[in-house]
Structure 1
Amino acid sequence: MELEVRHLRALCAIADAGSLHKAARQLGISQPSLTTQLRRIESSLGAPLFSRDRTGCLPTPLGRSVLNRARPLIADLAALVTETRAAASRAEGPALRVGSTASRALPGWLRRLRRRFPGTEVGLRVDVSAGALLRTVAEGRLDVAFVHEVEGFPLRVPPGLRERVLVAREPQFVSLARDHPAAARPVVDLAELAADHWMVDPSVDGEWDGLRRVLGAAGIDPPVLHGDYLTAASLVVLGEAVAPCQPTSGPRDDMAIRPLRGDPLAVRLLLYGRPGIALDALYADLADAYREAARQAAPYRAWLHGQGLSEPCLTGP
């Protein structure tokens, strides 16, 4: 077996993520596929490149040596691809490359961007990892990224990116089945959910750490399931789990969205752009789209009213 660029990318992803699960999500493949690929690479080289245990993956001395050689090769190739794509974009016409973590404000933002920049091709990449999106902006493969940062777990921001804070503290709500006893109340205490299975996506940067800290501070240790939020929604509807969610989450007949008393879970909403991008104009459209999403979410409107607010407190450019 000969090493290919995709193999080197896989090794770097495993080292950066610290686990096969997170690396597989970032690479867009299944964990068993990545595990098989790593075994073939190690078999080809004749020695293990990572030590693996229940806490994750760490490079062995040989692994560090391979990574030190692989990273410059990948960086050079990425620069070549970026420069080639930039040249092609100039030839084909203007383009705006947008990245985002999941958000109900995203459709409205894209609609406004296309209206603001007629004739510009607005591309989109959605990723669960804010860190991966920021690295992609730094590499020149995206122009801007709209991301969230879990409170208490700051993102690693590559140098040179420009930042705008959209919301300094957005409370995170909880989704639960319509017939859950706590759903009958407008605000839910964490203690009411102590016996429920909580579901969280560990590949979302800081998500599991933030939830674990909040639950621990509340003195509860409920069973936790790890999985993506599409699966979480299915389990929530069936009453098999509860899950943290954005306050702008859309209404569903089979699911209740409720704020948590005291708002213990929160994130910062951030917009990052590479140098030379008209970030203020992009921020203005994003702010309008976020306000629109907030108005459409009845639980969020009720929460804002309880805070004496008619709309979300946006930080401004």
Structure 2
Amino acid sequence: MELEVRHLRALCAIADAGSLHKAARQLGMSQPSLTTQLRRIENALGAELFSRGRTGCRPTALGRSVLSRARPLVADMAALVTETLAEAARVEGPELRVGSTASRALPGWLRRLRERFPGTDVGLRVDVSANALLREVAGGRLDVAFVHEVEGCPLRVPDGLVRRVLVSREPQFISLAPAHPAAARPVVDLADLARDHWMVDPSVDGEWDGLRRVLTAAGIDPPVLHGDYHTAASLIALGEAVAPCQPTSVPREDLAVRPLRGDPLAVRLTLYARPTTPLAPLHATLTDAYREAARRSPAYRSWLRDGGTAGPCLLPDRP
């Protein structure tokens, strides 16, 4: 087996993510496929490159040696691709490459960007990993990234990026079945959910660590299920679980959305770019889109009007 750039990129992703599961998500492949690929690489080299354990994957001594040589090669290849695409863009027309973690403000932001920059090809990449998007910006593969940072779990921001904060502290609400006893109240206490199964996606940077910190501080230890939030929605509707959710979430007939008392869970919403990217118009259009998303959520609209701390600039317009 001959090592190719894709193999080196996979090794770097595993080292950066610290687990095969997270690395597979970042690479857009299944974990079994990545595990098989890693096994083939190690068989070709005749030794283990990562030690696997319950806490994740860590490079062995040989793995660190291989990574020290692989990273420059991967970076050079990424630079080659970036420069080629940039040259093509100069011929074909302007391009704006946008990255984002999940957000209900995203559709409105894209619409406003296309209105603000007519003739510009606005491309989009959505990723569960904010850290992965920041690396893409630093590497020149994205122009801007809109990411959330879980409180108490700092992102690994590459050197040289500039930022504009959209919301310094966005509260995370709770999604639960309408028949849940706590759903009858406008604000939910964590203690009311102590016996519920909590659903969390561990592949989202900081999500599980942030939730665990808050639950521990509240003195409760509920059962936790790990899975993506599409699966969570089905379980919540059946009354089998509860889950943190964005305050811009819109309630459905089978899902209720409520704020948590004291806002113990929160994230910071930020735009990151390289210094050559003008952030002011991107920030202005995103602010308008976020305000629009907030207006569509009854729970968030009430929270903001009652003095929520997200910031006066985000108070939704009166209907």
Instruction: Give the TM-score band, short-chain normalised.
Output: over 0.9
Gap change, CA 1:312 and 1:248, over 3 Å in 2: farther
CA distance in 2, matches of 1:312, 1:201: 31
Per the alignment, residue 194 of structure 1 pairs with 194
C-alpha change, 1:156 and 1:308, in structure 2 (3 Å) is: closer
> In the TM superposition, what is the alpha-carbon distance from 1:283 to its structure 2 partner?
0.5
Query: Structure 1: where are the runs of 5+ without partners?
Result: none
SS state at 2:252 partner? coil
- Structure 2 runs not aligned, ≥5 long: none
Partners of 1:313 and 1:208 in 2: how far apart? Answer: 30
- Native 8 Å contact 2:95 2:122 kept in 1: yes
The residue number in structure 2 matching 1:66 is: 66
2:99 aligned counterpart, secondary structure: strand
Paired residue total: 315
The CA deviation at 1:83 is 0.2
Please tell me the residue identity of whatever aligns with 1:64.
Answer: R
Q: Which residue of 1 aligns with 2:299?
A: 299
In structure 1, give the amino acid aligned to 2:254: D
Whole-angstrom CA distance in 2 between matches of 1:223 and 1:251: 24
Query: Counterpart in 1 of 2:210?
Result: 210
- Deviation, 1:313, is 4.4
Instruction: Tell whether the 8 Å contact from 2:168 to 2:310 is kept in structure 1 after alignment.
Output: no
Deviations 1:110-149 (A, max 9, x none): 1110000001010000011111111100101111111111
Q: Structure 1 counterpart of 2:209, which letter?
A: D
Shift of the alpha carbon at 1:156? 1.3
Q: 1:32–1:289: structure 2 CA closer, same or farther, 3 Å change rule?
A: same
Whole-angstrom CA distance in 2 between matches of 1:308 and 1:171: 9
Equivalent-residue separation in structure 1 for 2:134 and 2:211 (angstroms)? 23
2:101 corresponds to which letter in structure 1?
A: T
Partner of 1:289: 289
* 2:24 alignment partner in structure 1: 24
**Matched residue, 1:14:** 14
Cα pair distance change 1:197/1:313, threshold 3 Å: farther
AA at the equivalent of 2:81: V
Give the distance between the partners of 2:86 and 2:116, measured in 1 at CA. Answer: 22
Q: Is the 8 A contact 2:99 2:144 kept in 1?
A: yes
Q: Is the 8 A contact 1:166 1:314 kept in 2?
A: no
Which residue in 1 is equivalent to 2:119?
A: 119
SS of the equivalent of 1:175 reads strand
1:305 deviates by 2.4
Q: Residues 195 and 310 (structure 1 numbering): CA distance in 2 closer, same or farther, change over 3 Å?
A: closer
- In structure 2, the partner of 1:147 is 147
Q: Which secondary structure does the structure 1 equivalent of 2:209 belong to? A: helix
Matched-pair contact (CA < 8 Å) for 1:188–1:260: yes
1:308 to partner: Cα distance: 6.8
Q: Tell me, what secondary structure is at the counterpart of 2:42?
A: helix
Rounded Cα–Cα distance in structure 2 between residues aligned with 1:310 and 1:275: 26
Partners of 1:260 and 1:308 in 2: CA distance: 12
Cα–Cα, structure 1 residues 308 and 32, in superposed 2: closer, same or farther, change >3 Å?
A: closer
Aligned residues of 2:14 and 2:57 also touching (Cα < 8 A): yes
What is the TM-score of this pair, normalised by structure 1? 0.96
Q: What pairs up with 1:217-228 in 2 under 5 angstroms?
A: 217-228=217-228
8 Å CA contact 2:169–2:310 kept in 1: the answer is no
Partner in structure 1 of residue 93 of structure 2: 93
CA distance in structure 2 between the partners assigned to 1:312 and 1:37 by the alignment: 50
